[in-house]
Amino acid sequence: MKFDSPIFDGIRVKQDEDRKLRMNCPVCAWPNCQAPATHRAPKGRLREGQYWRFCIDHVREYNRSYNYFSGMSEDAVARYQKDALTGHRPTWKMGMNGSGRTRGPEFGPTTDPLGFFREFGGRSDWQPPPEPPESERRMIRNVERKALDTLGLEVDATKAEIKTRFKMLVKRHHPDANGGDRTFEDRLRDIIQAYNYLKAAGYC
């Protein structure tokens, strides 16, 4: 009794799909080979979408010698690899569209503080926006307000004012300035913490 017969495929829980495939496949395209062509192999460059049909042994042999770039110069291979980065689609310089016309007016009022678009052929007639006052640019958080309040300062205090006030308060509340009295130690700790926070936040 032959257990690899197609007769048993109808009663097996897991049918032999490979044998079915071999029975329905064409003959291998390799010269003098009569095995079923169960595998595809690409025909090569300029013949995309076309395949040879080989058996498992000959498709392995074909793949070992297959070279998509065969017959191309080194420059052509380099250009192909570069174009492959964009999926072989056309590209243009930044600030340009496909017709080569400089883009810009459709963007409306734009700013280019680093000269990025100007460097790549874009508009160069931009004007930087007016700088807002320092007090408007800086967003004050509650913890920053509390730190400034600990030093007895307003939110628009300058860096020099913060440093001057800190030095003055440390001298006033330090135990050495009060004959060794540690009554103001907690107050001094709060002042130092507030100053360190403002320093880390870039206020001074």
> pLDDT by residue (tens digit) across 7-29?
655 565 555 555 555 566 788 88
Percent of the chain topping pLDDT 90: 10
CATH code: domain 136-200 is 1.10.287.110
Q: Is the separation of the CB atoms in 33 and 58 below 8 Å?
A: yes
Look at residue 18 in the predicted model and tell me its pLDDT. 57
Are 187 and 151 in contact, with CB atoms under 8 Å apart? no
Instruction: At 102, give phi and psi (nearest 5°).
Output: -65, 130
Domain boundaries, the chain: 18-65, 136-200
Q: Render pLDDT for 85-133 as a digit per residue (tens, 0 to 9).
A: 888 787 777 655 555 444 444 445 556 666 666 665 555 555 666 665 5
Q: Which two tokens stand for residue 133?
A: 């006052």
- Please give the DSSP secondary-structure letter assigned to residue 69: T
The pLDDT-based confidence of 140 (bands split at 50, 70, 90) is confident
**Looking at 64-73, 152-161, 163-172, which range is the least confident one?**
64-73
SS3 content of the chain, % helix, strand, coil (to 5): 45, 5, 50
How far is residue 41's CA from residue 61's CA, in Å, rounded to a whole number?
A: 11
